[in-house]
Structure formats: structure tokens, C-alpha cells
Amino acid sequence: MKKHLLSIAVLSLLAAAAASSASAQENYQPSPEIVKAQEQFRENRFGIFIHWGIYSMYGQGEWALNYNGLTHEEYSKMAGGFYPADFDAAEWVSAVKAAGAKYICITTRHHDGFSMFDSKCTDYDIMDATPFRRDIIAELAAECERQDMPLHFYYSLIDWGRTDAPRGRTGQGTGRPEATDPDTYFDFMKCQLTELLTRYGNVGCIWFDGNWDHEEWEQPLDYRYDELYPLIHELQPGCLIGNNHHITPYPGENIQIFERDIPGENTAGWHSGGVSTTLPLETCQTMNGSWGYRMTDQNYKSVDELIRYLVSTAGRDANLLLNVGPQPDGNIPAAALERLAAMGEWLGTYGETIYGTRSTLVKPQPWGVTTHKDDRMWLHVFPADAFKAAADGQIYVPYKDGRKVASVTPYGSSDVKLAFKQYKEGLFITLPEDMPADVPDYIVEVTFR
């Protein structure tokens, strides 16, 4: 009984500590550098996520260690064979560019604890534990700098290998003790974050993941954001902080992340945090069903689906961070490359209706979504939905912002005028009778006076 009471006391202390960490930054105000970075981030609208680690060798996604019930000792032996001979940062960045994406976010260290960069804070990294001995993050950072591509770093708060990393709901069978003294683990994370923010040029964002491992679990953990966040902003005042925790953003965070979820839809059922009206939003999504390379997963979304997903996120005022999982040989899978190229082609024609736009005038509608910039608003009509939603060939656009509409035309055909009526309650627009059914997105341009 005594022991029980003691552990309740310890748990409530921990819970209080967790709460205090979150509130310690309560008075956080974004610096001018952050405000500028947030604006740029929003304008980019489309980024590519790269999940890559020694787990790619297992070909089972990035959770191979956890799902196979391996000990970390056994799992980590794969590092000794990691030699991605085809890895070429220039090819990767060029493929991302050709896709029309405006930034890259790469896993520097995932839950398996393996560091893809030359870290002096551990030997379990690309330089000391593999025969490859090339700093992948340094090569990518240099290439991103050359091609003017902002680089973001995914960084896991979980470590299924280190014996000082607090055990949460996952990775319980990997050989870590049940209880740890996390001080050295937090020192280690600070050591690595300092490396990442001082050695690789400008870092666009630190993208945390893994908070959910303790959140709402019987053993809460103080993630010490009151130490980690200021450290990041001290080292790079313009580096955004995002945290994939699925809850309301903590003070000190600069973007809100939605995992496999278009903001507000909560299709994945994980999000309990609402949608921020002040922070830029980002939805991360897989191209097939996996983040890390999974050889049995050829279930790729079609190009049309991916385009519609990008348009749907922009139409909810959010960025899309679309994932690729490179193979163990360093190549991005061919199926992913094809889709990237096709998206780039589409954006080459319609990019103006996506990049640098906002979507705050008209909420998503049964026929599609809207984006806008300056004196123009674009209706992204999804044909299959529109055929169902349109009445007498007309769609209703609840635009109530007051500006008078000057013209409505199919995007790219300013000589064709579409009939419209404008009321206080919104617009009624007549879609062309010959609107194609086989395009992912039919765009109508509304110009205001």
C-alpha cells in the first residue's frame, strides 16, 4: 500500500512537471524571424517528407524494430551492412524540385535511435556504426543549399535503444529498463539538436515526433519543451518548431501538424487539438501506406488522388508534406518518382492557384475547395463531386466578403465568360456544359473588381 501511495505521489509529481513544462513558455511571443519564416512556410504549400534510416533494410517500414519484437541489440546489427551505394543528394533534391515541392523534411533520427548524421553525442550513427561513413544529412544540406531548397529536420523524442530513454507505450520489448533517470537522455537530445542547428546551415524547422508515446498514458513524461524550444530558437532564431503530438499546440510551437489528416476532418481519429487559426498548418501524408520503405506496399495513390489531396490541403489553408521512403540502396522508389514528376507537371500549369494562396474566404464545399490571392479566388471543382452537388449546372459559393465580382472564367481561358449571380449570401456560378469529367481538379477563376 505504502509503495502504491508512493508511486501515486511520484506520478502526480511527474504530471505536474509535464504540465509546468508546457506552461513555462506560456508567454511565448514569436520573434520577427519566426513570423517571417511562418509566412514563407505558408507560401510554400508543398513539401516532401523523407523517411530514411537503417530500417529501410528491413523493408517493413520504420517501426520494424518494434513490430518484430526484436531487441535493440539484434536490430542494430543491420547498421553494419548499411551501404546505400546509389545515394545521391543531387538526384533527390532535383526530383523534389521537379515535383514542384518547396521544401524537404528528413528523418535525422527516428524512434530506433539511429542518427543519419555525424553525431559526436553517440556512436550509433552513420559514421561510427555503418561502413558507409558519409554524413547523409550534411550531403543533403549542402545540395539543398545549392538548389535553394529549405531543409527541415524530423527528430524523434522516442529512443527505443538508449537505456536512459524513458519507456513509453511503444518499444517495450527492446531491452530498455522499465524506469530510467532521463537527465542524461535530455542532455543527449540537446547535444544532438545543437549539432543539427549549428552544423548544417539554415534549418527551416525542427519537426518533433513521439510526444504521444507518453501523452495520456499512465506514466506521463515531462518532455522539457521549456528547455528544448528556447534552445532551438536561441541557436537559430528563424527555425520553426512543429510537434506531431495530435493535440492543441503548446506555446512555443510555430506550426500545427496534422498526421494523415486534412485539418478539420480528423479522418485518422487522432486529433483532439482543434485547428489553429493563427499558426500555419501542415498535413503529412504517405504516398502509399507507409512512411519508411516497405517492399510489400505497392498500394500507391494515383496521381489524380495526390493532386486532389494537395488541392484539398491548400483548400483548408494547409501545406501538404508528402512522404517518400527511399530504398536501402539510396534510390527513391520508381513509383514515387513517377508521381512526383506528374505532380510537378500539374503544378507547372496550375501552381499559381496553390503557391502563396490562402483559403480563408470560403469553407470547403460539397463540390470542392477554394484558394485566393489578392483580387482573385480560385474554385477547385472536383468533377465527380460537382456533378452531384450542382443544381441546374450551378454551384453555390458562399462568398460573403463583400467585394464585387468582375468576371468568372475557366482557369487559363479568360475569353470564356461563365454566367454568375452575386448575392449577399454568395455566388451562384454556372459550370460549363462541357466541363471535363476526367481531370482531378477543374479550376474556375473569380476576379474581383
Placement of cell 477543374 in the chain: 442
Q: To the nearest whole angstrom, how small is the minimum distance from the Cβ of residue 321 to ligand GLC? A: 8
Touching ligand GLC, residues 14-53 (CB under 6 A): 51
Nearest to 193 by CA among 146, 163, 233, 138: 233
DSSP three-state, residue 440: coil
Binding of ligand GLC at residue 244 (CB under 6 A)? yes
Q: To the nearest whole angstrom, how small is the minimum distance from the Cβ of residue 257 to ligand GLC? A: 8
Q: To the nearest whole angstrom, how small is the minimum distance from the Cβ of residue 432 to ligand GLC? A: 40
Binding of ligand GLC at residue 282 (CB under 6 A)? no
Residue 45 or residue 111: which is nearer to ligand GLC going by CB?
111
Q: To the nearest whole angstrom, how small is the minimum distance from the Cβ of residue 51 to ligand GLC? A: 6
Q: To the nearest whole angstrom, how small is the minimum distance from the Cβ of residue 16 to ligand GLC? A: 26
Nearest to 301 by CA among 261, 347, 340: 340
Q: Which of 185, 291, 293, 350 binds ligand GLC (CB under 6 A)?
A: 291
**Three-state secondary structure of 127-192:** CCCCCCCCCHHHHHHHHHHHCCCCEEEEEECCCCCCCCCCCCCCCCCCCCCCCCCCHHHHHHHHHH
| Angle formed by the axes of helices 136-146 and 89-98, nearest 10° | 50
Separation CA 408–CA 447 (nearest Å): 6
Touching ligand GLC, residues 193-232 (CB under 6 A): 209
Residue 73: phi, psi to the nearest 5?
-60, -45
Residue 66 or residue 119: which is nearer to ligand GLC going by CB?
66
Binding of ligand GLC at residue 60 (CB under 6 A)? no
Binding of ligand GLC at residue 284 (CB under 6 A)? yes
Residue 41 or residue 291: which is nearer to ligand GLC going by CB?
291
Residue 242 or residue 315: which is nearer to ligand GLC going by CB?
242
Separation CA 435–CA 418 (nearest Å): 12
Q: Which of 125, 143, 159, 259 binds ligand GLC (CB under 6 A)?
A: 259
Touching ligand GLC, residues 297-336 (CB under 6 A): none
Q: Which of 37, 52, 54, 62 binds ligand GLC (CB under 6 A)?
A: 62
Say how many C-beta atoms besides its own lie within 10 A of residue 295's C-beta. Answer: 14
Bridge-based pairing of strands 426-430 and 151-156 is unpaired
Question: Taking a C-beta distance cutoff of 8 angstroms, is the pair 51, 291 a contact?
Answer: yes
| Residue count, binding to ligand GLC (CB under 6 A) | 8
Residue 83 or residue 270: which is nearer to ligand GLC going by CB?
270
Q: To the nearest whole angstrom, how small is the minimum distance from the Cβ of residue 245 to ligand GLC? A: 9
Separation CA 174–CA 66 (nearest Å): 7
Q: To the nearest whole angstrom, how small is the minimum distance from the Cβ of residue 63 to ligand GLC? A: 6
DSSP three-state, residue 75: helix
Nearest to 196 by CA among 134, 126, 260, 141: 141
Binding of ligand GLC at residue 125 (CB under 6 A)? no
Residue 155 or residue 382: which is nearer to ligand GLC going by CB?
155
Q: To the nearest whole angstrom, how small is the minimum distance from the Cβ of residue 42 to ligand GLC? A: 20
- DSSP 8-class letter at 391: B
Residues lying near ligand GLC in the complex (CB under 6 A)? 51, 62-63, 209, 244, 259, 284, 291
